[in-house]
Every structure is written in C-alpha cells, then in structure tokens.
Chain A
C-alpha cells in the first residue's frame, strides 16, 4: 500500500489569522475575513476582499527587517508562512542548508511595481523594487531570508500554482531527487488583479456564496501557506501531520479562463489523484472544493464531482467563503485546512449558503461538522485550464 509523502510542517497567513492556530480558531468558529479593502488603495472600495489587515511596514516590523529592505508584500507574507512551516517541522539551520524550496505566485511583486511605477525614473530610493516584479524574485527573497539553501524553483500556473508546487515537491521526493522541501505559494491583493477580475465581471459585491444558486462571483483574497515534505528515510521519529497520498493535474482544454460545462479537466485531475492514491471515490470523506463562487466554476466543478462520486457525493465545502480567493496561494492555504480537517475531524463550513443550484441540487456542509476523516480531496483550478487535485490522508503507522 502506497504510504504517500510525509508532511512534517505547515505554516499559513491569511485574512483569518497570522498562523495555523489563529486560522483554525477562525474556521472552527465561522469567523470569516472578508471586509472592505483598507490596506489596498483602490477606487473599487465597494468590492469586499480577504485582506490581511497589516501594512507592509507592520509585516516588516514583525520580521524585524531593516527599513531599507526590498521585500514585496508577497515575499513578506511568504516569509511569515514558510517560517512557521519550518519551525513546525523542527528544521534547524544545519538542515535548512540542504532543504529545497518550491514556491509559486501569480502577481509576484506587482504591488511594488504599481505603487512605484511612475517613480522609478525619478526616485533612486524605490528603484530597489524594479526587479521585484519578476515572480522568481519573490521566491529568491523568501529562500534567502529563511536560509533555504537547496534546490529552488518558482511555478506560475495561475490559481492552481501552489497545488502544483506541492505536487511537484512530492514527485521529486518520491523520485529520490530531493530529501526535504518546503512547498507552497504566496499572493497579495493588488489593483492589477482587482481591476482585472472586475473587468471579467466575476467579483461579487457581497461575501461570496460558493455553490449557491444565487452566487454572484468571487472575493479576491491574499495570503501564503507552505508545507514541509520529507522523504521516508530521513523521517526518523518525527511527527507526521498527514500524507500527500494522491495528486493529479490535467488541462481542461476548453477556454483561456472559463471552465468547460462538463468539468472535463477537473474530472481528469480528480481521477488521476484517486488512481495514484489507490483509492476509490467512496474512500474520500471530505472535499475541500475550489468553489470560487463564480457562476462558471461552481457549476463545472459540481458536474465533475457528480461524475466521479455519482449519487454518493461526500461532505464538501469551499473555505473561500472565509479567505476569499487567494489565487496562487489558494492550493496551499486549502492544503493546510485539509490537514487541519484530518487532525481535528472537523469539516469547516461553507456557511454562506442557502439555495442549491437548480442544475445539480448539491448541498455543501453549512455548519461545522464532526466526523472521522481519513482522506480529503482538495481541488484547485486555474485560468489556462490548469486543474489540480490533491489527496491528503492520515498518517497510518
């Protein structure tokens, strides 16, 4: 029986908490983090977002960075989350030097570029941010700050980016190419994405309602999350939080941004993940859905779920109702929530739901639910048709 890759640490920052414990408390008490934008200066102040209520300066102070630092917001969030994951896994300096780092981001340092774009020519002070737009720069900043000395890579596949970073790390460990790797992603709110998604008319003016007949679009969010993955032969007696038992990625091959009506890519990704895990559909106890609350995604995802699970759809919810859609970070943030679900036996609710969709009749979990959870399926789908599914399982000794 396939054991899966061991997860020995996790860390997170999102609009519902600055670490794993705070995130858990918010999830367990249905305290969401969707508010009007305050830190992000935007003309679209009527569009609610999952914003972390700390300025870059406050984040830098938490990290005790010198004022001349050139860290982007995505880097700052990434450092906080990756640092928690590293200490959670008990990795000390001697190990970090050989620990790999696979990160992901979609906006990279776009926040700096848009704030200082017009100043670049005049101001020397802000020129240090010019290089920051490069998404690889965000990864390097985090790796350098945390002294991660191993193999480094940056993935950019839209909203499935960090799910893919997790999958990639697991593959490289299984193939014996890496012993230990920190995987995940980070993205911050920017005018770039807020205006862009707004032009696609898929942002809701209220708290999103995933899987509801009357859903009116998504809320953008920000955050970062990372997991530490370790190879079997270096685990020793270390505590294992959970295992990545299956993963799959497929292209929907339908449209640049829209998902196919039949959810083909999602269906293929889930099927691949189940096959790799050696599980059948009825072994899945909970689905942490992609569930962005757009008309298109939720219908397409529901259809894919129905194709896989038929009349026995397991308990499912979208935790984006807490955090908003954190883009490249979403897969890793939801991986942390999936593992918390395995550990606590709790299904975090899709609380803002009233009416099932006419097309499917599916009802997500709307109140915190307790049950034995052995296997969680976590979905992350991105623009460009990039669909990923991960299966997290309890560590069976």
Chain B
C-alpha cells in the first residue's frame, strides 16, 4: 500500500523546519538547552512538565508540537523512532550523579523510548511504539517496518524517523506518514529529504 509523507519536521543547528520551510530560527540561542527553552516559548507550548524532561524528550515534544500543529492526530498513531546514541547524554549524567546522591528524576530518562512515552502522554496516543538503535539514519529500516505496521495493524498513521541528542548536538527528522499527502513514503525519498537539510546546514 503506497503511503504518503503528510508532513515532516527537521530540527538542527538552531532551526526548526516544517516541510523544508523555516518555522523558527533561534540563532541567538547560547546552547542547545537554551535553544530548546526558547523554542518552547516561541511555540507557546505551555506544558510545565517540559522543564523536567531530558534533552531527548524535550526535542521530541518540540518536534511533535510542530508536526502536529493544526492537524487531527488519531490516538492510534504509531511511533517508530531511531537514533545512534540511545539516551547517552542522560546516561552520562546519571553516571556522574552516581558519585554522590542519585537523582531519580535523571535516572528515569536513561532509556531512549521515554521520549515516545512523553509524546504519548502529551498527545494522548496509546498506540504502538518502537525505538531502533542504529549507527546512522537507516531509511530502509524505517520505511520497511512502518509499511509493515500500517499494512497489518489497522493503524491509520505513524510518526517515524530520527531523533538524536549527543554532546549537546541535536538532529531531528520526523515524518508523519498516512494515506494523505503529496510525497511518496519511500526509503529514497526519506534519504533525500534527510540529506537535503543536512547538506545545506553543512555549507
């Protein structure tokens, strides 16, 4: 069944793009934490729990806020995420804390799938979640599995892609996939869209 990319969000280098169009640019952000805080304000998210989250979860909340804006999102929408570093940043923080008093609030974020939990709570999604760890963005894996999932489980839509947070650097590329949209949901297309922005930001 040919599914479509309904819309896609990219977050990298202090910019947030929706369907390649700039939504927010925060050139003045001092660092990635400051960037996330400013993005939260600029998007009027108003969700105090946001400030308790780790970087990966904050990225996920900001990304889906942009991706889901002005759309009906079915509670059946599945999440198929991937990254290279798992929850490494928070793992390191927990490791540091282990030398003194451990913070349970840090420990609970030492798993990559917590970001999907946070998104599910905020948007009341009760559908399927899977989180792949792979060295690089692997569009074939994401497209293959998302297709199988949509074909066989009666799920109407999925959010899939890449969400990486490492050394205070971030790289997000998430697509809302359903039967609606103009872009074909294929590995080639995903690869092209992901690299388009990455090359541009490298220049």
Contact = CB atoms under 8 A, between A and B. Distances in A.
A390 to B, nearest CB: 14
Nearest to A268: B126
A30 interface: no
B111 interface: yes
B198 interface: no
Interface in B115-144: 115-118, 120-121, 124-135, 141, 144
Contact of A384 (B88, B114, B127): B114
A251 B116 contact: yes
Interface stretch (B40-48, B102-110, B177-185): B102-110
B127 A157 contact: no
Contacts of A174: 152
Q: How many residues of B sit at the interface, in one of the four size bands?
A: 35 or more
A256 interface: yes
A154 B133 contact: yes
Contacts of B133: 134-136, 154-156
Interface string B142-160: 0011001101110000000
Given A251-B129, A257-B108, A384-B111, A136 B116 contact: no
Contact of B94 (A134, A175, A196, A257): A196
A177 B113 contact: no
Given A117-B95, A196-B102, A250-B128, A156 B86 contact: yes
Interface string A363-388: 00000000000000000001111100
B107 A385 contact: no
Contact of A192 (B94, B112, B144, B149): B94
B91 interface: yes
A29 interface: no
Interface of B: 79, 84-86, 88, 91, 94-95, 98, 102-104, 107-118, 120-121, 124-135, 141, 144-145, 148-149, 151-153
Interface of A: 106, 108, 110, 113-114, 117, 133-136, 153-158, 164, 168, 171-172, 174-175, 177, 191-192, 195-200, 249-257, 264-265, 268, 272, 382-386
Closest 4 CB pairs of A and B: A384-B117, A196-B107, A199-B102, A251-B120
12 contacts: A110-B91, A136-B133, A154-B132, A156-B132, A157-B116, A158-B114, A177-B144, A192-B95, A196-B107, A265-B126, A382-B113, A385-B117
